[in-house]
Chains A and B, each alone.
Chain A
Amino acid sequence: ILNVEQSPQSLHVQEGDSTNFTCSFPSSNFYALHWYRWETAKSPEALFVMTLNGDEKKKGRISATLNTKEGYSYLYIKGSQPEDSATYLCAFIGGSNYKLTFGKGTLLTVNP
């Protein structure tokens, strides 16, 4: 059973704060890591697909880094806004079987 852990489970920040959270995954047999943003009552929306050790991806105020050797990825949000409030999910693909194993997510609440 693959273990994909996300921390913290939830996070409350003030508008304008920068924040980050972690996704840990097995370091062996890495194929890809996905990040998704999931707003309440909507469906998950893809943020990043990361495949190479040392990868850094950026989309507006959100960025992510990847360390496949030690099995972790960080997601950063700079200058959080209330509309960033959502659950952020990471999903790991090990080997070439293309099955995504999701973490339970980090619930971010940004207070105005």
Chain B
Amino acid sequence: DSGVTQTPKHLITATGQRVTLRCSPRSGDLSVYWYQQSLDQGLQFLIQYYNGEERAKGNILERFSAQQFPDLHSELNLSSLELGDSALYFCASSVDGSADTQYFGPGTRLTVL
């Protein structure tokens, strides 16, 4: 158990819908990262927050957005969902958001039907 929690564990929804994935970092970690893993791709970095501010952005679609709240938990919002958005979404956290060790949560499995 890494200490990073993600909810929900599984999510099944329809195309065109909007969902919110939630992540709570390890106690003391200030930085949160979001990753997507699709069947045919490796782990793809989406976005990073540090202490409430966006720090780095990867290949995140415009239909996706994220934020980190004052209590340091983070939410990833996915809207206008398409079949291709079906994937495993991981959240990770680290202490200072530099190149330090990232601790991964258990992931949220999103299925878009």
Interface residues of A (CB under 8 A from B): 31-32, 34, 36, 42-46, 49, 51, 89, 91, 93, 97-105
Q: Of B99, B106, B107, which is within 8 A of A49 by CB? A: B99
Counting CB contacts under 8 A, is B16 at the interface? no
Question: How far apart sit A90 and B42, CA to CA, in the bound complex (Å)?
Answer: 11
Contact yes or no, A89 B97, CB < 8 A: no
Contact yes or no, B48 A46, CB < 8 A: no
Q: Of B42, B48, B90, which is within 8 A of A98 by CB? A: B48
How many residue pairs, one in A and one in B, have C-beta atoms under 8 Å apart? Answer: 53
Contact yes or no, A99 B48, CB < 8 A: yes
Which residues of B lie under 8 Å from residue A91 when comparing CB positions? 43
Given contacts A34-B102, A99-B56, 11 further A-B contacts (CB under 8 A): A34-B99, A43-B90, A46-B103, A49-B99, A93-B99, A98-B55, A99-B58, A100-B45, A100-B102, A102-B45, A105-B42
Contact yes or no, A43 B104, CB < 8 A: yes
Number of interface residues of B (CB under 8 A): 24
Interface residues of B (CB under 8 A from A): 2, 33, 42-45, 48, 55-58, 90, 92, 97-107
In the assembled complex, 28 residue pairs joining A and B whose CB atoms fall closer than 8 Å, in A order, are A31-B99, A32-B99, A34-B102, A43-B90, A43-B105, A43-B107, A44-B90, A44-B104, A45-B2, A46-B102, A46-B103, A49-B100, A51-B99, A91-B43, A93-B99, A98-B48, A98-B55, A98-B56, A98-B97, A98-B98, A98-B99, A99-B45, A99-B56, A99-B57, A100-B102, A102-B43, A102-B45, A104-B42
Question: How far apart sit A89 and B45, CA to CA, in the bound complex (Å)?
Answer: 14
Residue among A36, A99, A101, A104 with most chain B CB within 10 A = A99
Which residues of B lie under 8 Å from residue A51 when comparing CB positions? 99
Question: How far apart sit A49 and B103, CA to CA, in the bound complex (Å)?
Answer: 12
- Given A44-B90, A49-B99: A89 in contact with B43 (beta carbons within 8 A): yes
Which residues of A lie under 8 Å from residue B2 when comparing CB positions? 43, 45
Q: Of A36, A46, A97, A104, which is within 8 A of B56 by CB? A: A97
